[in-house]
Amino acid sequence: MSLTASPLPAARDGLPQLIEPAPAGLPGLDALLIALRAGADDVQERLRRHGALLMRGFPVNTPADFERVARAIDDDLKNEYLGTSPRDAVTDYVFSASELPGFYPIPQHCEMTFTRTPPRRIFFWCDIEPAVGSGETPLVDFRKVWRDLPEPVRARFATRGLRMIRNYAGPGTQKQDLWQLKRWDEMFQTTDRAEVEHIAAREGFEAVWKASDRLALVSTHDAMRPHPETGEPVWFNHAQVFHLSTGPAELKRIFRYRPSLRGLFWWLAAEVLTARKRRVASDDQAMHCTWRDGSEIDRADLDAVRDAIWRNLVVIPWRKGDVVAIDNHAVGHGRLPYRGPRRVSVCWA
């Protein structure tokens, strides 16, 4: 393509590829859109090989601009969201990335791994950049995570498989649990139980209605999924996101990465809250993950996964107007805590 593409200094093995206006070229949005379409083969090859592109320095000023950039890479945008974050629609296809409060860590994950057809591409756009040293959307090559796992841990995940458990409150109920992300009517965009059951069956979720209009979704998965285009093995599941140990384990790593009194407080508070939740049965947790046979996963195995993820973390500060395009079958994303203004939007294909 006629745009400059190069790895950032903070990149790892070219993740992400930086695309900037050519020195003598126009920085206009149309120049980017034309170059992305004209260089489509190169764009797709870079996504396949390196896992993500960062487009920086272009005037991407509105959600409509963002959608045009995303469509120049993949025109097949989707707008059904079966993930766990609360999101607000900005346009028909652009959503706020997450309405979770800024202190809440979002561990690295590929998008919607627990659905039958996870997104192929996911795009983020920053129009209000957070304060320096906060609120980044780190990237991790989950192909490397699978390779970097200690062999016995990788073998256990490969052979034992996973069982994901999510419990949702019903319409009209107030949030009572810090880890409870949203209600089932928010997730499925309907209060019709038959419609919920239809979508759940389509996605391979077992739907169990419980007392007080609560809904449990249970699904089983392989831990590894070959990349659909290259066949490379990828850590492609939400085990280390849904497991009960996630909150304190993630906050501990964030504290070590970026020490602060506030970070220490949230880590210790999460340890206390999680210790209390251990008394709750696995199937009644807001979110949890066990081996496929229902037995508990040793926390050390999940810590080995988290260590592999954090060893491979790529953290790049947002700048206003940045657009990141990610191969969701290869590269995970997350969010580091922040305070103050920050606005990042998402769309996917």
Give ∠ CA 330-148-346 in degrees, rounded to 5.
Answer: 30
Q: Determine the Cα–Cα distance for residues 287 and 140; give it in Å rounded to an integer.
A: 23
β-bridge pairing 331-335 and 139-141: antiparallel
Q: Compute the distance between CA of residue 169 and CA of residue 166 in angstroms, rounded to an integer.
A: 10
Closest approach, Cβ 47 to Fe ion, in A, equals 17
For Fe ion, the closer CB: 154 or 221: 221
Alpha carbon distance 140, 326 (integer Å): 10
Peptide bond into 16 cis (omega under 30): yes
Name the site residues for Fe ion (rule: CB under 5 A): 111
CB closer to Fe ion out of 58 and 95: 95
The first and second tokens of residue 19, run together, are 């695309």
Task: Return the number of the residue (241 or 244) whose C-beta is nearest Fe ion.
Answer: 241
Query: How far is CA 343 from its chain centroid?
Result: 16
Nearer to Fe ion, 143 or 154 (CB): 143
Minimum CB distance to Fe ion, residue 83 (Å): 6
Residue (111 or 127) nearer to Fe ion, CB: 111
Smallest gap from Cβ 44 to Fe ion, in A, equals 22
Q: How far is the CB of 122 from Fe ion (least distance, A)?
A: 7
Distance in angstroms (rounded) separating the CA atoms of residues 30 and 21: 11
Q: Which is nearer to Fe ion, 74 or 111 (CB)?
A: 111
Cα gap 58→75, rounded to integer Å: 20
In whole angstroms, the minimum distance from the beta carbon of 330 to Fe ion comes to: 14
Residue nearest to Fe ion (CB): 111
Would you say 111 or 141 has its CB closer to Fe ion? Answer: 111
Closest Cα to residue 170, out of 108, 213, 110? Answer: 213
Looking at the Cβ atoms of 35 and 110, the one nearer to Fe ion is 110
Residue 347 bridge partners (DSSP): 123
Compute the least distance from the CB of residue 59 to Fe ion, in Å: 26
- Retrieve residue 231's tokens: 């066949």
Do 89 and 95 form a contact (C-beta atoms < 8 A)?
yes
**Residues forming a β-bridge with 219:** 164
| Residue 111 CB, nearest approach to Fe ion (Å) | 5
Q: Give me 27's structure tokens.
A: 């920085």
99 or 192, CB closer to Fe ion?
Answer: 99
User: Could you give the C-alpha distances from 14 to 47, 54, 314, in angstroms and in order?
Assistant: 10, 11, 10
Question: Least Å distance between CB 206 and Fe ion?
Answer: 23
- For residue 343, which phi and psi values (nearest 5 degrees)? -140, 115
108: amino acid identity, one letter: Q
Instruction: Give the span between the Cα atoms of 63 and 261, in whole angstroms.
Output: 36
The distance of closest approach from Cβ of residue 39 to Fe ion in the complex, given in angstroms and rounded to an integer, is 27
